[in-house]
Amino acid sequence: MRNFSRGDVFAAACPSRQILQHVTSRWGGLVLIALREETLRFAQLRRRIDGISERMLAQTLQVLEGDGLILRKDYGEVPPRVDYTLTPAGREISARVFALSDWIEKNLPELLALTPDAAPQTVQ
């Protein structure tokens, strides 16, 4: 297997592609954005991200933690208390994901004007 010292998302086998995949996954990006400004607990994240199931949130958090982008802090209390914070790398990536979503949010009216045919396409 090749050694990717710089990363090439166009190469299927490059780890950078996997990471890009994780941070742009259905829920990954939203989690990163939500944690952009503050540390949040599991239930807070769940409330903030409309539509995510508990299972998916737990799974997404694990993947992102596995990538070293978020830090999971377990207070070992009962009832359970756990919170999540971005690592420095996570903050860098989060900022960029946010730049993307923010542009889309701000330009939504213009974007919607581009789609006169309300085509309800579904991908991912």
Partner DNA sequence: CGGTATCCTTTGCGATACTG
Partner DNA sequence: CAGTATCGCAAAGGATACCG
Candidate residues 40, 42, 49, 82; the one interacting with a second copy per rule CB under 8 A: 49
What are the residues binding DNA (CB under 7 A)?
25-27, 41-43, 46, 51-56, 58-59, 61-62, 72, 74, 78-83, 122-124
Candidate residues 1, 10, 55, 77; the one interacting with a second copy per rule CB under 8 A: 10
**b/e string for 4-27 if b means 16 or more Cβ within 10 A?**
eeeeeeeeeebeebebeebbebeb
Task: Give the one entry of DNA, a second copy, none that residue 33 binds, where binding means its C-beta sits below a cut-off of 5 to 8 angstroms depending on kind.
Answer: a second copy
Give yes or no for residue 107 binding a second copy (CB under 8 A): yes
DSSP state of 23: H
Cross-sheet strand order for the sheet of 40-41: 40-41, 82-86, 70-74
Give yes or no for residue 85 binding a second copy (CB under 8 A): no
Q: How many CB atoms lie within 10 A of CB 108?
A: 10
Under DSSP, is residue 123 helix (H, G, I), strand (E, B) or coil?
Answer: coil
CB of 33 to DNA, least distance (A): 16
